[in-house]
Structure 1
Amino acid sequence: MSMLEQLTHRDRVFDFLAPVASPVDVRHGPILYMEGVNVSFDGFKAINNLNLTVDDGELRCIIGPNGAGKTTMMDIITGKTRPDTGSVWFGSRHNLLTKNEPDIASLGIGRKFQKPTVFEALTVFENLELAMATDKRILPTLTAIMKPEYRDRIDEVLQTIGLQKLRDKLAGILSHGQKQWLEIGMLLMQKPRLLLVDEPVAGMTEQEMERTAELLTSLAGKQSVVVVEHDMGFVRSIARQVTVLHQGSVLAEGTMDQVSNDPEVIKVYLGEEE
């Protein structure tokens, strides 16, 4: 199936999850604000006057062909890449362009890469314990006592990611999908306000994809979630608002039906010359 066919195809695997309306409270304004952002690498303009706003508690899907600027956009938000020009704000107080990667993470921005990175020699519980947002200096870590509230937090996250029964299993024996959920859980342990998720269902079975859709939609409202994904059936199953990137800027925005019927979006996915 071509990318355009994926864009317009209603995948019956996910029909039961397709949202009718967003239950997310966005009355408190944007959590992420990007305006006039430009980035060039050796003369190639990876980001071109990008303007993007994500509301507090929103679930936003970002789609676009290869080279559209999706990864660079996330690199900018997390401080890995500095733009040449533009503004990037987290809420109304934090100018992300003045902060480094650790500072941005400590503000409450978590990023999950496509390939899961968990500690396979540790149990699921121990992975979550290690990821907890506590003092990570050597002495406090060695002398730390598992407080009841910490255990409660781990139990809560285990419930959210659906790995309660595997809490004492080594992470190395988990399936690909379960490792993805565990890594999302490790980010949740840090109580992020904004979660950036890169291609979460790549390599998953259909059953794992369904569970991932349920997980991400359950997070909306508690966190703001930005999902970059190529699987259009999956995007349609979770999307309230979709942003289409092309050549480093926003080509279209709206519901999945709106963007999939946009003539410019169709032209891009067909690969026609402008």
Structure 2
Amino acid sequence: MSETLNRLRDMARPDRVFDFMVPDRSPVDVRHGPILYMEDVTVSFDGFRAIDRLNLTIDDGELRCIIGPNGAGKTTMMDIITGKTRPDSGQVWFGSRHNLLRLSEPEVASLGIGRKFQKPTVFEALTVFENLELAMAGDRRVWATFMARLDHEGRARLDEVLETIGLEAERDRRSGVLSHGQKQWLEIGMLLMQRPRLLLIDEPVAGMTEQEMHRTANLLNRLAGQQSVVVVEHDMGFVRSIARHVTVLHQGSVLAEGSMDAVAADSRVREVYLGAEEERHA
């Protein structure tokens, strides 16, 4: 516990603010178009084009699955959206007003874009409740956020998120003793505390049991509509259980888009990805 508190004290220095402290309501404007718009985005690393004239749109409230072979550009795409990587060319807009390529990572997060990496990163020495409390959005320094009592609205929000992620019974347990799947749900819950408009979720079911995968599918389906959700995943069984619209990336650009049945029937997709995936799991 002391190590965790020391980390929090360091983070609470006057010159440090959590990147995820965002307004209750994102100012994103989707009245005239999608929530996320990428056009002709290209980025190269040492002469290799990781993203090659990528075009992608995500509608408000949509659940989109992104699939493709290793090296297809899926992680780099999310790095660009969140401000971690700057492309060589192209446009990336959040709604109709916010040019993400002009913003830093904290500024992108402040608009309501949350990202969950494959490996869960929770404070294992803290309880589930404390992790969610710490992640709550607000214009407050980290230490004040951690130490302050929740007001009625904040407690209601925390209870709502606990119910959404299915961890009400675990609220007072230390996060370090949770199962892998429960830690994944907790981290999603920590993002939800920030009231995001767009969630980017990387391989959420890697290492999960079948039961945990089923619960994760239910969770993501519940979230869709309340916010836009983009899921990068290799498990095709899981993708089929949640997919409404699928984008296939290959060599940094869109190879195919449509329903799971449509992309599964595409000979190009089967050649570069799905055929190999089926053989690997045979």
TM over 0.5: yes
Shift of the 151–265 alpha-carbon distance from structure 1 to 2, 3 Å rule, reads same
**Is contact 2:112-2:198 (8 Å) kept?**
yes
Residue matched to 1:228? 232
Instruction: Structure 2: give runs of 5+ residues left out of the alignment.
Output: 1-29, 277-282
Pair 1:194 & 2:198 matched: yes
Give the counterpart of 1:132 among 114, 136, 139: 136
Tell me the distance in 1 between the aligned counterparts of 2:151 and 2:81: 33
Residue matched to 2:20? none
Per-residue CA shift, 1:226-262, capped at 9, x if unaligned? 0000000000000000000000000000000000000
Pair 1:54 & 2:58 matched: yes
**Is contact 1:135-1:141 (8 Å) kept?**
no
Give the counterpart of 1:207 among 211, 232, 236: 211
- The letter for the 2-side match of 1:137 is R
How far does residue 27 in structure 1 lie from its aligned partner after superposition?
8.1
Pair 1:160 & 2:164 matched: yes
Pairwise CA RMSD: 1.4
How far does residue 110 in structure 1 lie from its aligned partner after superposition?
0.1
Tell me the distance in 2 between the aligned counterparts of 1:200 and 1:194: 16
SS of the counterpart of 2:83? coil
Residue matched to 1:250? 254
Residue matched to 1:66? 70
Tell me the distance in 2 between the aligned counterparts of 1:61 and 1:68: 14
Residue matched to 2:46? 42
How far does residue 112 in structure 1 lie from its aligned partner after superposition?
0.2
Residue matched to 1:150? 154
Tell me the distance in 1 between the aligned counterparts of 2:146 and 2:125: 19
How far does residue 144 in structure 1 lie from its aligned partner after superposition?
2.6
- The letter for the 2-side match of 1:90 is F
Tell me the distance in 1 between the aligned counterparts of 2:31 and 2:126: 41
How far does residue 136 in structure 1 lie from its aligned partner after superposition?
3.5
Tell me the distance in 1 between the aligned counterparts of 2:120 and 2:37: 28
**Is contact 1:252-1:259 (8 Å) kept?**
yes
Residue matched to 1:4? none
- The letter for the 2-side match of 1:250 is V
Tell me the distance in 1 between the aligned counterparts of 2:47 and 2:261: 35
**Is contact 1:51-1:249 (8 Å) kept?**
yes
**Is contact 1:28-1:56 (8 Å) kept?**
no
Tell me the distance in 1 between the aligned counterparts of 2:107 and 2:56: 22
Give the counterpart of 1:89 among 93, 98, 107: 93
How far does residue 77 in structure 1 lie from its aligned partner after superposition?
0.2
SS of the counterpart of 2:255? strand
SS of the counterpart of 2:134? helix
How far does residue 145 in structure 1 lie from its aligned partner after superposition?
2.9
Q: TM-score, normalised by structure 2?
A: 0.85
- The letter for the 2-side match of 1:161 is I
Shift of the 139–247 alpha-carbon distance from structure 1 to 2, 3 Å rule, reads closer
Q: TM-score, normalised by structure 1?
A: 0.87
Residue matched to 1:176? 180
Residues 79-88 or 138-147, more deviating: 138-147
Instruction: Structure 1: give runs of 5+ residues left out of the alignment.
Output: 1-25
Give the counterpart of 1:104 among 105, 108, 124: 108
Tell me the distance in 2 between the aligned counterparts of 1:138 and 1:198: 26
How far does residue 263 in structure 1 lie from its aligned partner after superposition?
1.2
The ranges of structure 1 where at least 4 consecutive aligned residues each deviate by more than 2 angstroms after the TM superposition are 26-29, 138-145
Pair 1:122 & 2:126 matched: yes
- The letter for the 1-side match of 2:163 is Q
Give the counterpart of 2:264 among 230, 254, 260: 260
**Is contact 2:246-2:260 (8 Å) kept?**
yes
Shift of the 142–223 alpha-carbon distance from structure 1 to 2, 3 Å rule, reads closer
Identity across the alignment (%): 78
SS of the counterpart of 1:86? strand
